[in-house]
Chain A
Amino acid sequence: MQKTWRSSVLLAYSLAVLAFLYLPLIILALYSFNDSRINAVWSGFTFKWYQALFQNTRVLEALTNTLIIGFFSTIISTALGTTAAIALHRYHYKFKTVINGLVYLPILIPEIVMGLSLLVLFSQAHLPLGKPTLILAHITFCVSFVVITVGARMEGMRNDLEQAASDLYATPWQTFRYITLPLIMPGIIAGALIAFTLSIDDFVISFFVAGPNSTTLPLYIYAMVKRGISPEINALSTLMMCATVSMVVLAEILQPRHHHRSQEE
């Protein structure tokens, strides 16, 4: 008896915490459909804030910027990160700890420090702030996540298929192209999805390295929030939340877990 009492309290508490995590986001999304502009009184269901978004040229420009920056940073960081992950998995390096440290540091250092250090670099190099500096910055914080994601995929992989391929006289390139690459593809896609999500969602680092004509969606939301509350921010935020969460969940599905694998063995 006592045990069921205890576990129902625990369950209720956990559900309350979950509600704390999700209610604000649900309210945010709900009010993007509210007809009233000024206050929190519900005055009818509407899509007009979403329609307004798609007619707002500044939003569309921010969206274009976000997608361009996201596209280039994803491609480059995925290429860099994947090659590094393959090399780190396959070869022994004298300075492996140093290389690993270098990969992990950008994730571990406070974002604000990374943002301002890039601002200082670009200003010392006399690079004008804009889309190119944003892309350079985004690649820098995305690449580590790609190395880790692809690395996690390779960790449990045995190399007997690759061994078999080379026994059958496949060239190293053929082995890579037809054996290794297909095997690690889910990891690469998951890494690319995470990189893209991080890029389109980034605010802190972009805040430091963006120029006047390179506003991204998070920067646009920030400017709007600073000016005051409006249902358009809710609509835009809701769309961004949906995009972010669906990509992360997709990446999660593509990425198998270690403890699952170890259970199977």
Chain B
Amino acid sequence: MKNGKLLVAPTVLWLCVFFIIPMLIVVAVSFASRTPYGQVVFNWTFSNYQRFAEALYISIFGQTLVVAFITTVVTILMGYPVAWSIAKLPKKWQQPGLVIVMAPFWINFLIRSYAWVIILRSQGVINTILLKLGLITTPLQMLYNEGAVMLGMIYALLPFMVLPIYVSIEQLDRRLLEAAADLGAAPMTAFRKITLPLTMPGIAAGTILVFISSLGMFVVPDVMGGAKSALIGNLIQNQFLSARDWPFGSALSIVLAVLSLVLIMLYYKVLNTQKGGADDAKDVA
């Protein structure tokens, strides 16, 4: 096939038209302003970016970063031992084990957040049980606050942490641990001095994946959070759907996209250190 090389063209063209061009338009809109009726007027202004300095938006940005940070730390603490257990399984059980951990990730965040609403709401599972047991007399308010959003984020993104950590543990040279044990190192010392440093690339990759995903999340805070627990994602959603301030929404999403891309570049740097892991992560993710 002489012109076989051109087979890649339809996809490249498609992605240019439906991905690159839309992004460029969003960049342009972020420098535009809007009429009182929500129409976009292109007049090249920085005012949308200057609005980030307003106290309200600074606090939303701050809150988003705090939630992303805590989500990341908790998913590491929860995910590392799980990844370790899977890597220790007999070879033929590792793949099924990984699929079991990853399967919930494919169910959409909306349904997974809703599952927690059923459990946590005032007439939900936990309150019903506690009331029956007589431990409480009035239902606890567990939903629509920052704690609920955090829980939902951890729940949604945990599989994303397990996968890259598993890859790095699986590649760990077990002989190093045997050598450490032979030389009289206590298991904890061996873990701290050998396992942890060698699996750091996996932790770093998971951190970036979870952190990026939680930055752009709007389903979880929308379903499980209250008005006070809005994150950047909800702010962007509002600008496009209720406030109809597309220029400001565009500026917010450009900042979100740039931040994510910078982190992704870091991720690839990390993956280059953790050779081979990239393909596995791509396959399941």
Contacts and interface: CB of A to CB of B under 8 A. Distances in A.
Nearest to B79: A17
Contacts of B82: 13-14, 17-18
Interface stretch (A47-55, A58-66, A239-247): A239-247
A252 B18 contact: no
Contacts of B6: 87
Interface string A201-224: 111100010000000001001100
Contacts, number: 242
Contacts of B109: 203
B276 interface: yes
A82 to B, nearest CB: 9
Given A21-B101, A90-B4, A117-B26, A234 B118 contact: yes
A119 B22 CA distance: 8
B81 A14 contact: yes
A20 B106 CA distance: 16
B107 A25 contact: yes
A41 interface: yes
Interface residues of B, number: 85
Interface string B46-86: 00000000000000000000000000000000110110111
A161 interface: no
A144 B22 CA distance: 17
B14 A22 contact: no
Which of B114, B124, B213, B264 has most A Cβ within 10 Å?
B114
Given A18-B82, A108-B264, A114 B118 contact: no
A81 B257 contact: no
Interface string B267-283: 00000000010011011
Interface centre among B4, B7, B117, B250, by most chain A C-beta atoms within 10 angstroms, is B7
A221 B114 contact: yes
Contacts of B159: 21
A187 B213 CA distance: 27
Main secondary structure, interface of A, reads helix
Chain B interface, DSSP helix/strand/loop, else mixed: helix
Contact of A118 (B22, B125, B276): B22
Interface string B112-133: 1011111101011101100000
Nearest to A221: B110
A233 interface: yes
Contact of B218 (A117, A204, A245): A204
Contacts of B8: 83-84, 87-88, 91, 93, 99
Interface in B80-97: 81-82, 84-86, 88, 95
8 contacts: A17-B82, A87-B5, A112-B218, A113-B256, A143-B15, A148-B282, A172-B1, A241-B111
